[in-house]
Amino acid sequence: SLSERLSAVAAHLPKSAHFVDVGSDHAYLPCYVCLQDPSSKAVAGEINEGPFRSAQKQVKLQGLIDRIDVRKGDGLAVVAPDEVKQVVVAGMGGPLIASILEQGKDKLGHVEQLIVQPNIDARALRKWFQNNGFVLQKEQILEEAGHIYEVLVAVREGKSIYHEDVAVREKELLFGPILLKEKNEAFRAKWLDYKQKLERNVANMQQAQHVDEAKLASFKKELIWLEEELN
Ligand code: SAM
């Protein structure tokens, strides 16, 4: 069965989805979606030979070769400009996912929905959405096997959910405007852990000979936010 993490990603796709899963590895996600919904189809993209072969093997095994096209290539280079309606990129760092979207911009013209699952630095994606005409629509944070994952969904149309105040917005970009309102258990666990790391970092920096003052200031600002939000 599919991991909770990938099930959470899959759950955001609409019925009759036509999507690309970039960095599909074993193609577990598109196989799961296409088995559940006979009207959906997908492209599974992989840059590396090993995972590309695993994807091909899995798609064959599940009898899905007519609905899941496994393609080898970098990011969104595997799809044509008008080909898919949804884009999924999961299990990579936020900055890498953002660079995949940035480099594949010419393929996003007809894309209605982006579903991303960054392992670190979701802020990089919130910023990318803002700067590129996508509206953050949903956010989820969940824990599985001791790891905490975030899933973000962005669409083309809709009202911005960020606060008008720039200072508040800056905070929302880090924590996630929706996640910050909910503050569930996974959210608290993630940020409590981060806070402890940050406190150690700041203490070490304050004892060091040469201090990156800008970095120290930004860490201190984050610590204030964390104190405000984790009570
Ligand atoms: N998406 C799957 C998941 O969430 O379980 C697999 C995640 S795995 C950690 C990352 C995969 O992305 C690897 O199989 C890697 O080969 C692939 N990958 C990394 N950079 C890529 C790129 N620029 N284009 C396509 N695939 C990429």
Distance 122 CA to ligand 1 centre (A): 17
Q: Provide the ipTM.
A: 0.99
The CATH number assigned to the domain holding 17 equals 3.40.50.150
Residues 17 and 80 placed together within one structural domain of the fold: yes
If you average pLDDT over residues 17-39, what whole number do you get?
Answer: 98
- Residue 226 and residue 191 in contact, taking contact as beta carbons nearer than 8 Å: yes
- Residue 188 and residue 148 in contact, taking contact as beta carbons nearer than 8 Å: no
**136 within domain boundaries:** yes
Q: Give the nearest ligand 1 atom to 88 CA.
A: 1
**110 within domain boundaries:** yes
Distance 89 CA to ligand 1 centre (A): 8
- Residue 90 and residue 125 in contact, taking contact as beta carbons nearer than 8 Å: no
Residues 16 and 118 placed together within one structural domain of the fold: yes
**How is the chain split among helix, strand and coil, in percent rounded to 5?**
50, 20, 30
pLDDT in tens, 35-67: 999 999 999 999 999 999 999 999 999 999 999
Among 151, 189, 146, residue whose Cα is nearest residue 5? 151
Q: Residue 231: its pLDDT value, please?
A: 81
Domain range for residue 135? 4-159
Closest residue to atom 8 of ligand 1, CA basis: 91
**175 within domain boundaries:** no
Ligand 1-lining residues (CB < 6 angstroms): 6, 22-25, 45-48, 51, 74-75, 90-92, 100
pLDDT in tens, 97-117: 999 999 999 999 999 999 999
- Residue 6 and residue 90 in contact, taking contact as beta carbons nearer than 8 Å: yes
| Strands of 86-92's sheet in order across | 68-72, 41-46, 18-22, 86-92, 113-118, 147-155, 135-144
Q: Is the pLDDT of residue 3 over 90?
A: yes
**Please, what is the angle between helix 123-131 and helix 94-103, to 10°?**
20
pLDDT in tens, 143-202: 999 999 999 999 998 899 999 999 999 999 999 999 999 999 999 999 999 999 999 999
Choice from 7, 12, 25 to test ligand 1 binding pocket (greatest atom count within 8 A of CB): 25
**36 within domain boundaries:** yes
